[in-house]
Structure 1
Amino acid sequence: MWLNKYAPKNLSDFAGNSSNIAEITNWVKTWKSQPKKALILEGSSGVGKSTALNLIAKELGLNTIITSASETRTAKAIATTFGVALSQQSLFFKGKLVIFDEIDALSGKSDRGAVGEIVKLIKKSKHPIIFVANDFSGKKLAPLKKESKKIKFQKIPTPIIADKLEVILKNENINYDDRALKSIARQADGDIRAAINDLEVLAHGVSELTYDAIKDSGYRDFRKPVQDVLTIIFKTTSVKNSTEALSISDTPLDTMVEWVRENIPREYKKSDDVARAYQMLSRANIFMGRIHTRQYWRYLVYVSSILSAGISTAKTEKYPGMQTYHYPTKISLLGASMFSRAKNDALAKKLSPHLHCSKREAKKYFPIINLIQQNQPDIWDSILTKID
């Protein structure tokens, strides 16, 4: 993969965020005298946070100890694994740089006590600790903010990404035009990793990469509407074709799940094919649930693969005829009930402090409230006056 082949070998090769690199390097060098003994790196995917840390550790001669919050979530697990890394001396007495990746994955009830345990470890650590996150705004992570210095990684500017792509194509002896490179760089939206992956796909098997060729390929700069994507997914049995179609869709994955769910029985005629397709879809739902509740964003690749290749290969034969795919019923119902749901949410928000419970728990009282509204309107008016 070009992503590995052209990964920066040292800090001089690193693209973007140069001032951040210098600041991190200085912090690590002077860690013992720093007032805050941990560092937070925040920034969107593909801006080079983890790569930068590995290169800095290499330049300073440090061993890296990497722990992921998505794998080490409980206070006990953190104390036994992460804690050991902070207290032990490195091999050959080299220093350590301890990296806690995906720290923003700590969110749910199962993570209770984890943040407190990490704070304890920071205070007694013998090595510098750096947390990596896409988004560090969660309230649960507030105690870590007090103990850490924060550095924000910015998206890589389009010209810098285009320059990197140019270097790659020159090394691969592939001709190109500037419009093609700028288009790929612009659509990556600051994610240099995505840009390199896109470049490798688009330049595969060609001697010249042109803007017109990118346009004709259906590249993400020219996204496909949902009807076209569904046609490819449902009609093809090619993993490659269905995967590429979904990758250039203009529809979010969670919305695409509902489109596929709605139209499986309209497209597939055999009951066994329908059953296999829905089984695939149930797996996609499981991964989407973990993404929403646990922030396991890496699971998006599994959802994408299931919605494309999984659904395409669930059928035993191609079904003839063209379909006009139906808009998802679930989304229609949610849209129709949007105002009533908003009204209920507002009422629950007003009631929750008086009932000493969460908004979700407050909604459990709605059946009683409905009876009061219907049978005792004067009492209900009095209640409204008090909670407003």
Structure 2
Amino acid sequence: MLWVEKYRPKTLKDVVGEKKVVEKVIAWAKGWNANKKPLLLAGPPGTGKTSLALALANTLGWEAVELNASDQRNWQIIQRIVGEGAFNETISDEGEFLSSGEGKLKLIILDEVDNIHKKEDAGGEGALIRLIKRKPKQPLILIANEPYNLSAELRNLCEMIVFKRLNVRQVVKVLERICTAENIKADRRVLEAIAKNAGGDLRAAINDLQAIAEGRNELRLNDVVIAKRTQDTDVFKVMQKIFKSYNPAVYNEAMLLDESPEDFIDWIDENLPLEYDGNDLFKGYLVLSRADMFLGRVRKRQFYRLWKYASYLVTVGVQQVKSEKKGGWTRYRRPSRWQMLFYTRSKREKLKKVLAKISKYSHLSTKKALAEMFFTVRFLLVNEEIEKAAKIAAFYDFSVEDLNFLVGEERAKDLVDFIEKHGLHRVDESVDTVNAFGSFEGPIRSDIALEVTRVKSEIEDEFEDKIEEAKMKENEKEKAVERRKKKRRKSKESKDLTLDFFS
């Protein structure tokens, strides 16, 4: 068993970290009600965010439901698991009914929420935002390594608490406790070396300790053979060194970032006008354009060795063109282009969802639904009177989210209110058409039923006429065939008589 799990804190007393952070989390939990914001725990990996959330649940006697990065978290999963869990009561593992009214709550933990924008998690963030806006009765904790990868809307809906990396003394204290529990005699210098190498990541330090202690009862300094861990470099610190210094070593630090050159050039492009102006700004963008040419060749020809030239221009190139050293503090921004791409991707997902319903109920392909029906349906929903528009919305079984996308929130609310008030809904196509339209209530019901009856009667009459016409044609064909057979028989008989005469 991994020591990381074996020695995970069971209660808040076992948690290692800043006292102020723990106190804030406890105050949030004790004052929880449906009007409070969910908690967003943000900070580098290995700083105890998940352990603190689980320890909180154990200390207060709450049930814990955890959804982590290994789980798929698209909008359906968020709605089904997180949504239902956040608004419903629960039963404990022992079968006891837990009532939120009696303070027996269920803590929902959504780990690594900053990775929820992946393709397989499409629509997950939007579903989470809608869920939080509905004011869940159960407490919700979101955990993120990079909180600014989340949208500003989601961050503003949460109360954010930032975790800092642990210092060497705190990490050594935990390692000593583990060695005592495992009956391992360890030189303090060994534990300090492990702690320094981990760089404030307690999880990494415990894993290193377990790897070194495997098969040993005593640890000496010469037993420590561990690779130097590469620390996560903050993109904001790298930009600060680019814009405010002349040290070319920033190139090496940029190589440690978890950002590709295509992503990092967006960071520099967004924040360059905040630091440079005039001729410096012109030169900075000139260097960025050269770097972008290298990136273009990489995309076109797959020559990834050109990345290093693009990275050097983006870092050292931009750094060296400024005429003077910059000072002060600047608030850097995330690339606005990313927000635009996220927004357009979200729109595409919503469009696909709407087109799927139009193509299904109009019996068209998705391509035809977009070309022939989508804009017509949207026009009718926006411009028709509320009764007819609501009827169309019910026919295509559009959800509130679909209507918000098609007509805007205000019009969507009017349509949804009318549909709910008059009980409009989509009916099974297998039932009779007249009865199907009859299921719509309200003043339009009788008119629709009469119109459908009339159209149905006309179709049936026309169909019967065609059947009669086809029967007549078939009878005429049969008579013609019979006449030809008789004619052939008579011709054969006459030939036989002639042969008999001459024989």
TM-score tier by shorter-chain length is 0.5 to 0.7
Contact 1:70 1:102 in 2 (8 A): no
**Partners of 2:34 and 2:138 within 8 A in 1:** no
Q: How far does residue 109 in structure 1 lie from its aligned partner after superposition?
A: 5.9
Gaps of 5+ in 2: 92-96, 99-103, 231-251, 264-301, 316-335, 342-503
Structure 1 residue 33, shift from structure 2 partner: 7.3
Match of 1:56 in 2: 56
- Aligned pairs for 1:135-174 (under 5 A) are 135-138=146-149, 140-174=150-184
Q: Is 1:213 the equivalent of 2:214? A: no
Distance in structure 2 (CA, Å) of the matches to 1:74 and 1:62: 26
Q: Aligned partners of 2:180, 2:42: CA distance in 1, in Å?
A: 33
Contact 2:75 2:125 in 1 (8 A): yes
The verdict on how the C-alpha distance between 1:339 and 1:158 changes in structure 2, with shifts beyond 3 A counting, is closer
- Deviation of 1:101 (Å): 1.4
Q: Greater relative contact order: 1 or 2 (C-alpha under 8 angstroms, separation 6 or more)?
A: 1
Q: CA deviation at 1:108?
A: 4.5
Question: What TM-score results when the alignment is normalised by the length of structure 2?
Answer: 0.43
**Cα distance between partner residues in 2 of 1:155 and 1:58:** 24
Q: Look up the equivalent residue of 1:22 and give its one-letter code.
A: E
Matches within 5 A, 1:130-279: 130-138=141-149, 140-214=150-224, 218-221=225-228
Q: Deviations over 1:62-98 (max 9, x none)?
A: 1112223663433233222221111210211231111
The letter of the residue matching 1:21 is V
Query: For residue 65 of structure 2, what is the aligned residue in structure 1?
Result: 65
Gaps of 5+ in 1: 224-250, 256-287, 293-328, 343-352, 359-388
1:16-37 superposed Cα distances (whole Å, 9 cap, x missing partner): 1332122112101112176x42
Q: With the length of structure 1 as denominator, give the TM-score of the two structures.
A: 0.55
User: Is the Cα–Cα contact under 8 Å of residues 47 and 154 in structure 1 kept in the other structure?
Assistant: yes
C-alpha displacement at 1:111, in angstroms?
4.8
**What residue in structure 2 maps to residue 367 of structure 1?**
none
User: What value does the CA root-mean-square deviation take over the aligned residues?
Assistant: 3.5
Asked whether the 8 Å contact 2:26–2:56 carries over to 1, the reply is: yes
Q: Distance in 2 between matches of 1:162 and 1:146?
A: 36
Distance 1:159 1:178 in 2: 11
| Alignment-mate amino acid for residue 138 of structure 2 | H
Aligned equivalents of 1:95, 1:340: Cα separation in 2: 54
Residue 127 of structure 1 is matched in structure 2 by 138
Q: For residues 134-154 of structure 1, what are the alpha-carbon distances to aligned partners after superposition, in whole Å with 9 as ceiling and x for unaligned?
A: 11102x521111211100111
Report sequence identity in percent. 32
2:53 pairs with 1:43: no
Query: 2:127 is matched by which residue type in structure 1?
Result: E
Aligned pairs for 1:322-341 within 5 A: 332-336=305-309
Higher-Rg structure is 2
Query: Who is 1:245 aligned against?
Result: none
Alpha-carbon distance in 2 for matches of 1:335, 1:178 = 42
User: CA, structure 1 residues 206+32, in 2 after alignment: closer, same or farther (shift >3 Å)?
Assistant: same
Secondary structure of the 1:137 match is: helix
What secondary structure, in the 3-state scheme, does the structure 1 residue paired with 2:161 have? strand
Distance of aligned partners of 1:167 and 1:137 in 2 relative to their CA distance in 1, 3 Å threshold? same
CA distance in 2, matches of 1:199, 1:182: 11
